[in-house]
A and B are shown apart, each in its own frame.
Chain A
Amino acid sequence: MNSQMKKTAAAAAALLMACSVFAGCGEKTTDNTDSTTTAATTKAADASADNGDAADDTTADAAEADTDLSGTIKVLHHRTDRDQDGTMAKLTEGFNAIYPNVTVEYQSFTNYVDDIATMLQSDNYGDALMTPQAIKQAELPNFFESFGSFSDLDSKYYWLKDYVADGQVYALPTGGTASGLLYNKKVWADAGITSLPTTTDEFINCLQQIADKTDAIPYYTNYAAGWTITQWQSLVLSAAGDAEYNVKLLSEKNELFSDGSPYDAVYGTLFRIYSDPALHEEDPSTTDWEGCKPAFAQGKIGTMVLGSWAISQFQEAAVNAGEDPANVGFMPFPNSVNGKLYSASSNDYMMSVNKNSANKDAAMAYVRWFCDESGYAQNEGMISGLKGAAMPETLSAFEDLGVELFVEAAYPDDLVGKFDEIAKDSEVDPWGDATTNFKVRMAEAAFKGEGEDAYKKICDDVNAAWDASRDKILG
């Protein structure tokens, strides 16, 4: 009897284990969070209840608030830091002032790109989310809900062109960033540099001067972090000074690398800096992204290629390190075209609505509100996605320098999505950082001191691979 009970118990235990395994599986898809904050709407709900009791007092509020929309929406995003410091919860309060019956939940991921890619394999990727860049343009309608036609929205927002499929817009910009270089004003002044460079040769001379006259590292590659090298790619369009550059690249079948081409100007500069041990840090394999922020503030680093999105982070680091945040300077890529410097602006994360969402209207309202009214871009020092909004203070120096800020032109219909297609097919992948990427190959050839010939060889390889894929895809 006893042994029989034991066996029954064992069988039950086995069954229980089997069940718990599956329970675990089911939960994993939804609970795999780094941090979750639920900003409850109880406060707002209370307020609306009060409104009912004393309708006369609060007619103004009631007129503004939209009580028709209700439900719970989940917003997936990449700003774990903003979840933790309560910024997101504060944003919700602003949203609930207009839509009191919508409950907003946030789920943020430290490794957003990879985690969201996994979630996209199911239907369960939140109601609103930061648009994953890996999705091909033509496939956007398979994942997201349209915000309206491109012809209507283009006059209102920047940077929509990469998120349009069949004339419909599938993502709105949360903010944007200007391309350029971060430099420490004090270090540059200490080296005796009085005016910012306007050509790449002058730029290298400036770095040389910093190496000669100060103890600072003239250029910090931040190479170990991997993604940092992709920042150089954002300079290419600025170096071209032409909003149509990428369109022409495809329609006129230009080479990426030819003498003096924008790619050559940008990556030739990279190669020259990386080739000279005096101009960059001693060991690029052990650099430290978080550690470079205070080091930059303390005047140990002269220059870095980073978008304007980095300015506020470095200013914060300067304040934390007890240094003057005003030393964080931002300059355009020094490659003047017809005597003028350019900086291309591009979007930060866009925001989309899951087409499988049960609360599409509420999610739509949230995304529109987030991009139009939340003030998120301003708070982060980013350029607002709304056309005609004021430039952030972080870019005030650009106006003094007479830098022309511009936005990349949209591709004609027959070329939409082709750039990415060629980029991946040829494995040239200008925005990538794989170990076989041409940027990584150039950097390492430079670190080894292989000289101009190695650079030329890599350029030729890139051109050959690009041309082959372009001709295959565009015909």
Chain B
Amino acid sequence: MKSQNNLLQKNKLGRIRSQQLLTVILFLLVPSILLFVFTYIPALNMVRYSFENRDQFGQNVTFCGLDNYKTVFTTPEYFASLKNSVYYLVGSFIQLGLALFLATILCSKIRGANFFKGALFFPYMINTVAVALIFRRFFQRGDGVTNTDGTLNTIITLFGGDPIKFLSTEGLANICLVFVSIWRYIGLDLVMFIGAIQSISPDIYEAADLDGANRFQVFRYIIAPGIRPIILLQMILAVKGAISVYEIPYIITGGKFDTSTFVIQTTETAFKYQKVGLAAAMTMVLFLIIIIVTIVQKLVLKEDK
């Protein structure tokens, strides 16, 4: 009697387990298929393309070995736009510092902290195209005939300054774009940092309070070490983002006035010069650069630990 019961139990358990397995598989099926169809298969195809001579429509494709890579590495023009990434790299570290600073403040007991969290995160939720249109208008230098000065120039003239051509002055245009990028992405950093800071046990703060530590000491000895993994992650993402920046300059200036980036050049190579194979090779090179930078960064940061 008892053993039969056991057997039933076992059968039931087995059934539940197999049902669980089925559910898990079915649920995983959706994201995995999406991942394969829209990420892995195109990515693998791109690796193949980078060894081929092909145009946008894939007619008369020929295998050309490493020719595309040779072209990329022997044409310095392709790397010229990487210098603009320096602006974004500097910008992203300013962004990280600022986000860390604001996160620390917002995690202390201040009035309206939730409002500020929301307000600072809000730009991240706006569509990039909308952001670009807002800032094109914001930085506009009017000619007084067909259009008027944008917001920033209006304020400058209000205080008696001379209006500035923000988006068509070399260098300044890049700084403006970096500013837009910081404005847009700081919210995400902020949320990550706030989450990390709040995961530090309050007991430690209490102990620090009792010991009479000031705000800076709390930050230096409790918060910073506590959220170190998140800071490192954000730094790696910042470097990756700076090298592969695309949509903000593409929409605001179209890469004109020396604001082009490596990714803009890659899309133009593929779709304006119809060299999809070469563009695929450029993407692979970008991929390699990012991997190398990440490995170097990890090694360097590990050492000073």
| Nearest-Cβ distance from residue B128 to partner chain A, whole angstroms | 17
The reply on A11 being an interface residue by CB < 8 A is: yes
B34 & A282 in contact (Cβ 8 Å cutoff):
no
Please encode chain A, from 96 to 131, with 1 for each CB lying within 8 Å of some chain B CB and 0 for all others: 000000000000000000100100110000000000
Q: A281-B145, A286-B147 are in contact. Are A14 and B20 (CB under 8 A)?
A: no
A63 contacts B by Cβ under 8 Å? no
Asked if B162 is an interface residue, CB under 8 A from chain A, the answer is: no
A134 contact set on B, CB distance < 8 A: 56-57, 274
User: Given the known A-B contacts A283-B141, A288-B146, are A435 and B59 also in contact in the complex, defined by CB atoms under 8 Å?
Assistant: no
Any A CB within 8 A of the CB of B60 = yes
Residue of A216, A220, A427, A433 ringed by the most chain B CB atoms within 10 A: A427
By the criterion CB–CB under 8 Å, are A282 and B258 in contact?
Answer: no
Q: Which of B168, B258, B265, B272 contacts A433 (CB 8 A)?
A: B272
Question: How far in angstroms is the closest Cβ of chain B from A375?
Answer: 33
Task: Pick from B24-32, B88-96, B291-299 the stretch touching chain A.
Answer: B24-32
Q: Does A390 contact B (CB under 8 A)?
A: no
Question: A429: which of B26, B27, B272 is its contact (CB, 8 Å)?
Answer: B272
Q: State how many angstroms separate the Cβ of B199 from the closest Cβ of chain A.
A: 31
Nearest-Cβ distance from residue A344 to partner chain B, whole angstroms: 23
Flag if B140 contacts A216 (CB, 8 Å).
no
Q: Are B143 and A135 in contact (CB under 8 A)?
A: no
Complex Cα distance, B254 from A117, in Å, reads: 21
Task: Quote the shortest CB–CB distance from B41 to chain A (angstroms).
Answer: 13
Residue B264 CB within 8 A of the other chain:
yes
* Given A136-B59, A139-B59; A217-B145 close (CB under 8 Å): yes
A286 and B58 contact, Cβ closer than 8 Å, known pairs A15-B26, A226-B254, A447-B168? no
Chain B stretch 220-275: residues in CB contact (< 8 A) with chain A:
253-258, 260, 264-265, 268, 271-275
Instruction: Compute how far the CA of A444 lies from the CA of B60 in the bound complex, rounded to whole angstroms.
Output: 37
Which B residues, 2 to 52, have Cβ-Cβ distances below 8 Å to chain A? 16, 19-20, 22-23, 26-27, 29-30, 33-34, 37
Say yes or no: B275 contacts A424, CB within 8 Å. yes
Tell me the bound Cα distance from A424 to B274 in angstroms. 7
Q: A17-B30, A283-B168, A284-B168 are in contact. Are A4 and B19 (CB under 8 A)?
A: yes
With A286-B150, A435-B268 known to touch, is A7 a contact of B23 (CB < 8 Å)?
yes
Instruction: Write out the residue numbers on chain B whose beta carbons fall within 8 Å of the beta carbon of A281.
Output: 143, 145-146
| Bound complex: CA A220 to CA B145 (Å) | 11
> Contact: B254 with A224, CB < 8 Å?
yes
Which single residue of chain B is at the shortest CB-CB distance from A447?
Answer: B168
Instruction: Say whether A10 faces chain B, with CB atoms less than 8 Å apart.
Output: yes
Please state if A21 and B34 are interface contacts (CB–CB under 8 Å). yes
User: Which residues in chain A, 285-300, are within 8 Å of chain B measured between CB atoms?
Assistant: 285-288, 291-292, 295, 300
A440 located at the interface, meaning its Cβ lies under 8 Å from any Cβ of chain B in the complex: yes
Compute how far the CA of A432 lies from the CA of B274 in the bound complex, rounded to whole angstroms: 11
Give the contacting residue for B146; candidates A117, A300, A436, A444; CB below 8 A. A300
Asked if A285 meets B256 with Cβ closer than 8 Å, knowing A215-B145, A300-B145, A432-B272, the reply is yes
* Interface residues of B, dominant DSSP: loop
User: With an 8 A cutoff between CB atoms, is A473 at the interface?
Assistant: no
A283 near B165: Cβ-Cβ < 8 Å? yes
Chain A residue nearest to B57 in the complex (CB): A120
Give the Cβ gap from B139 to chain A, nearest Cβ, in Å: 8
Q: Is B144 an interface residue (CB 8 A)?
A: yes
On whether A434 and B268 interact (CB within 8 A), knowing A14-B27, A286-B136, the answer reads yes
**CB–CB B142/A121 < 8 A:** no
Q: Contact at B147–A435, with CB atoms within 8 Å?
A: no
A288 near B147 with CB under 8 A, answer yes
- Bound Cα distance from A21 to B27, whole angstroms: 13
User: Counting CB contacts under 8 A, is B170 at the interface?
Assistant: yes
Q: Is B167 among interface residues, defined by CB-CB distance under 8 A?
A: yes
Tell me, yes or no, whether A18 is within 8 Å of chain B by CB: yes
Q: Is B99 an interface residue (CB 8 A)?
A: no
B23, B33, B140, B271: the one within 8 Å of A21 (CB)? B33
| B173 close to A (CB within 8 Å) | yes
- Asked whether B30 lies within 8 Å of A18 as measured between CB atoms, the reply is yes
Q: Tell me if A472 is interfacial: C-beta within 8 Å of chain B.
A: no
**How many B residues are at the interface, by size bracket?**
35 or more
- Residue A301 at the chain B interface, CB threshold 8 Å: yes
Known: A18-B29, A18-B30, A291-B147. A285 touches B173 (CB 8 A): yes
Q: Is A457 an interface residue (CB 8 A)?
A: no
Is A282 in contact with B141, judged by CB distance below 8 angstroms?
yes
User: Most A CB atoms within 10 A — which of B22, B33, B140, B254?
Assistant: B254
Do A7 and B143 touch (CB < 8 A)? Answer: no
CA distance A288 to B145 in the complex (A): 12
Decide if B55 is an interface residue (CB 8 Å cutoff). Answer: yes
Which A-chain residue is minimally distant from B58 (CB atoms)? A121
Whether A142 is near chain B, meaning CB under 8 Å from some CB there, is: yes
- Give the shortest distance, in Å, between A124 (CB) and chain B (any CB): 14
**Nearest B-chain residue to A432, judged by Cβ:** B272
Q: Which residue of A lies closest to B145 (CB)?
A: A300
B34 touches A295 (CB 8 A): no
Please tell me if A448 contacts chain B, counting CB pairs below 8 Å: yes
- Residues of A1-34 at the interface with B, using a CB-CB cut-off of 8 Å, are 4, 7-8, 10-11, 14-15, 17-18, 21, 25
Report which of B20, B143, B273 forms a contact with A434, defined as CB distance below 8 A.
Answer: B273
Chain B, Cβ-Cβ closest to A3: B16
- Check B22–A11 contact: CB distance below 8 A: yes
Among A14, A291, A292, A448, the residue within 8 A (CB) of B170 is A448
The residue of chain A having its C-beta at the shortest distance from the C-beta of B137 within the complex is: A286
A429 to B271, CA, bound (A): 12
Give complex CA distance A246, B77 in Å: 28
A454, chain B: closest CB distance, angstroms: 13
- For residue B254, give the distance in angstroms from its CB to the closest CB of chain A: 5
The one of B145, B256, B274 that contacts A440, using a Cβ cutoff of 8 Å: B256
Write out the residue numbers on chain B whose beta carbons fall within 8 Å of the beta carbon of A220: 146
Given A14-B30, A136-B59, A295-B145, 6 additional A-B pairs, CB 8 A: A18-B30, A117-B56, A224-B254, A300-B146, A424-B275, A435-B264
Identify 21 residue pairs between A and B in the complex whose beta-carbon atoms are under 8 Å apart, listed by A's number. Answer: A8-B19, A11-B23, A14-B27, A14-B30, A15-B26, A18-B29, A18-B30, A21-B33, A120-B57, A121-B58, A134-B57, A216-B145, A286-B139, A292-B146, A301-B145, A301-B146, A432-B272, A433-B272, A436-B265, A437-B272, A444-B256
The 7 A-B residue pairs whose C-beta atoms are closest, nearest first, are: A282-B143, A14-B26, A283-B141, A285-B168, A285-B167, A435-B255, A295-B146
Residues of A near any B CB (own CB < 8 A): 4, 7-8, 10-11, 14-15, 17-18, 21, 25, 114, 117, 120-121, 134-136, 139, 142, 215-217, 220, 223-224, 226, 281-288, 291-292, 295, 300-301, 424, 427, 429, 432-437, 440, 444, 447-448
